[in-house]
Amino acid sequence: MRGPEPLYRFAYDSTFADYCALMKARRLLGPFGRHGRWLRYPFLAAIFFCTLWWLGGFARPFAAYLNWDVAKWLIGLLVFILAVDLFFDRVVGRWVYSRYAAADKRVEGTVDEDGLSWAVDAWSGRFAWSGVKNAVVTADHAFIFIGKLEAITLARRGMADADWQGLLDLLGRKLPRPPVAG
């Protein structure tokens, strides 16, 4: 069965940078939007200090905590938290990316009035615009979410500039709500 004539075609090689951009787009759709990643640190710090208070860790006068021994542990804790975050973003992220079927593969697809079709290696798919739950558009990517986590990544480098702008206009018309700007 042949579908409508494609309005736009895209083709690009997926990269780890595309995966990182997808992770950012997922966070944008979270409850705290673009601030969700960094709001977790003050939240965890508040839990930490509330736990210390509850366990009697602040029983001494406040001036007793204003010394180098306490400061170096707080600095060490901050560096450790940031190092763990970096480790999970880059090292574990690269490992997870390498397990994806589309990792470092050619992604090809078409966009038409009825929906989007794509093919990666030996598998392909198609979905109608009515199946799109949300979308995030950045300067270099358009992420078409078909679930809370599942998204089709359209990289700008896979299309001509005129086609990219036309695709963004089509997304604005076809989606139930405007794409989230990233």
pLDDT tens, position by position, 73-103:
888 888 888 888 888 878 888 898 888 888 8
Q: Give the tens place of pLDDT for each residue, 17-38.
A: 999 999 889 888 888 777 777 7
pLDDT at 3: 63
Gap between the Cα atoms of 67 and 86, Å rounded: 29
State the average pLDDT over residues 156-179: 89
Q: What is the pLDDT of residues 99-119, one digit of tens each?
A: 888 889 999 999 999 999 999
Tell me which of 64 and 108 has the higher pLDDT: 108
Contact yes or no for 155/166 (Cβ under 8 A): no
pLDDT of residue 27: 87
- For 115, half-sphere exposure in the C-beta direction (CA atoms, 13 angstrom radius) is 15
With b for 16 or more beta-carbon neighbours within 10 A and e for fewer, the 29-62 pattern comes to: beeeeeeeeeeeeeeeeeeeeeeeeeeeeeeeee
pTM of the entire structure? Answer: 0.77
Average pLDDT score over residue span 43-49:
84
> How many structural domains compose the chain?
1
Residues of the chain above pLDDT 90, percent: 36
Name the residue range of residue 90's domain.
1-182
Residue 1: which pLDDT band, with cuts at 50, 70 and 90?
Answer: very low
Q: Do 102 and 113 touch, CB atoms closer than 8 A?
A: no
Q: Is the pLDDT of residue 10 over 50?
A: yes
For residue 59, give the 3-state DSSP assignment. coil
| Arithmetic mean of pLDDT over the chain | 87
